[in-house]
């Protein structure tokens, strides 16, 4: 497990001290960032591969990530329909 001063918490696999493999990253409620939680694959601290990103507004992005961003086929479940 790794925690940051801004309140983020990571639980999962590491490689050479970096988030790498399967894991869950929880974002701080006080952080300006709109993300709440990412669960899936990491590659050297980057969201890479299959994963599910939950936004603070309740929207969910389920699919492939590259360079920390949704990429390729993504299913989006929106709270506002």
What Å distances lie between residue 78 and 55, 59, 60, CA to CA?
A: 10, 4, 7
Which has the higher per-residue pLDDT, 72 or 14? 14
Which of the four pLDDT bands, split at 50, 70 and 90, describes residue 43?
A: very high
Q: How far, in Å, CA of 61 to CA of 70, rounded?
A: 7
Judge whether 37 and 27 are in contact, CB under 8 Å.
yes
- Spatial contact of 8 and 26, defined as CB atoms under 8 Å apart: yes
Q: Locate tokens 């929880």: which residue? A: 26
Distance CA 14, CA 30 (A): 26
Give the model confidence (pLDDT) of 16-37 as tens digits: 999 999 999 999 876 567 899 9
And the tokens for 73? 């086929």
């Amino acid at each position: 497990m790794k925690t940051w001063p801004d309140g983020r918490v990571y639980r999962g696999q590491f490689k050479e001290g970096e988030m790498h493999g399967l894991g869950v990253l929880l974002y701080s409620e006080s952080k300006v960032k709109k993300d709440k939680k990412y669960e899936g694959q990491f590659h050297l601290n980057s969201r890479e591969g299959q994963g599910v990103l939950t936004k603070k507004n309740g929207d969910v992005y389920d699919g492939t990530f590259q360079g920390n961003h949704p990429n390729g086929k993504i299913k989006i479940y929106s709270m506002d329909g």
